[in-house]
Structure 1
């Protein structure tokens, strides 16, 4: 079974990350209307995949089966690569165990009645990345409904945080404070790197159409489920400016994949992820598809 720290451990102070995150990279440039539309279409396909697999899922499905279904769906819709392979977390894995938010290995866990599923996919469509995550509940689970209501309210207020003059690090602090004030835990503190969000890019054709991922040996499992193009572009842009964590002090403009993830005690995790466009003094979500709730009927 997955292991996790309860509560999740906050990040240690990192002065190097603070300094590196100040570097202004091309990712902080304001997107053009054409680029915004490209990201919108990529996100639309991402949510279509999430909603399509949710319509098929039933108790008894495994995480691995769900990931394979999503991979096939994206391929059938013209996707040749993604920022990362589809990630599915049922039950305990929805809590984001310590440094273990990644695709299930093998069959993984099995979906049960009164369970929760988080599905996360990031296809590259015509060079644009659409990284989203969706939470689905099985049956009537009041605790999950309340947590999803909380995240919906948090989502409404996040764009305003990006327009404030304070550094991006305060956004991480604010999200953590809001979650803890409502009785939840910030599951992102269980992620490797404590990442609340990351910038997304337009990829060149060679990268957008490269179908292969790095082998687990010798690169390790974490590298093996990210596309080489995404890894190389992030490294070329110094990495730290591209990640929204507790120490980010650089520019906030650009297109971000924002992924708040909370823990409901030690039972469930609830998450959303979608693209946020940040301009000077203004920030907005590309659409409201993430707010469509999906509940799988228990016992089917």
Structure 2
């Protein structure tokens, strides 16, 4: 619950509300959020394995919806998205309608991104799953670099670096890599947004402008509540994000691109009163990075062994 500073003496500055910094979830809540995030990634992986040249974004999005429904999902934070080719980099996106799945067909060598946000019993996940069909050296290079963004974000959140400054440091890393910032194309230029356990009672499975009815009801309450403290449930680079990370869960999605190849991950970041950590490390992109690191380590070991043998 919000708290107030002590009543000032007569003639001093007006009383200002201050938000209590109390983490709102217990271990049982975190387990439910984690299970739902795993479910969302599992469904996205199944669709990724099913994709092949000729499939359209709309077909991929519909398949993702069927996978989620079969897993018991009846509501969602936002509609399911699928982007192929240069649309993964949001090239020529100027209106919100351009984010919706199109008739773009997948081709050999194309990247793709699947994005879904299921809700079960009020618990919400919001994930981004990236892949490619066939070989793409550019995609592989971006994917290797993307791990640095995940590390950077959690380190800065632990330091209580203001949200807008973390955004700026991600921007600086993108520039050093020679990529483009594409999360700035999202509505509100967001790199993330707060996720809560919804308690709204609107109709489940019904969307308006891409967002579930219950999502809009919840977001409305969050905007009003956070505005009172000069904050926002959206994480961007503006004035409303000039504050230390707010305790709670944040869906974070650094999205970068090189020319027509876009890549991102999206997962839940836990921000407590004095710490921050990713909700789960057993995720497809994290496992992919670990396999690559293990392979590099094995190669380095083999080379060192060969050198030692030759030196005898």
Equivalent residue, structure 1, for 2:217: 232
Over residues 68-97 of structure 1, what are the superposed CA-to-partner deviations in whole Å (9 max), with x where a residue is unaligned? Answer: 001111111111110011100001211123
1:29 to 11, 23, 29: 23
SS at match of 1:199: strand
Any gaps of 5 or more consecutive residues in structure 2?
A: 1-15, 225-230, 290-312
1:200 and 2:195 matched? yes
Kindly report which structure 2 residues correspond to 1:1-300, keeping only aligned pairs within 5 A, or say none.
29-96=23-90, 97-100=93-96, 102-105=99-102, 108-204=103-199, 206-207=201-202, 210-214=204-208, 223=209, 225-238=210-223, 241-247=232-238, 248-252=241-245, 253-265=247-259, 267-288=260-281, 289-291=283-285, 292-293=287-288
- Give TM-score, length-normalised by structure 2: 0.78
SS at match of 1:237: helix
- Contact persistence 1:25–1:241 (CA under 8 A): no
Deviation at 1:178, TM superposition (A): 0.3
Indicate the SS of the match to 1:29: coil
Greater RCO (Cα-Cα under 8 Å, separation 6 or more): 1
Report the 3-state secondary structure (helix = DSSP H, G, I; strand = E; otherwise coil) of the residue aligned with 1:162: helix
Larger Rg: 2
How far apart in 2 are the matches of 1:250 and 1:153?
Answer: 23
CA RMSD for the aligned pairs? Answer: 2.3
- Contact 1:172-1:246 within 8 A present in 2 as well: yes
Give the distance between the partners of 2:211 and 2:66, measured in 1 at CA.
17
Unmatched segments (≥5 aa) in structure 1: 1-21, 215-222, 295-300
Alpha-carbon displacement from aligned partner over 1:104-145 (angstroms, at most 9, x marks no partner): 14xx21000110000000000222111000111111111110
After superposition, the Cα gap between the structure-2 partners of 1:210 and 1:135, relative to the gap in structure 1 and judged at 3 Å, is same
1:24-77 CA deviation, whole Å, 9 max, x = no partner? 779973421111111101101110111010111111110000000011111111
Instruction: Answer yes or no: is the 8 Å Cα contact 1:172–1:196 preserved in 2.
Output: yes
**How far did 1:170 drift?**
0.3
Structure number with the higher helix fraction is 2
Instruction: Answer with 147-156 or 252-261: which moved more.
Output: 147-156
Matched residues in 1 for 2:65 and 2:135: separation?
29
Residue correspondences, number: 260
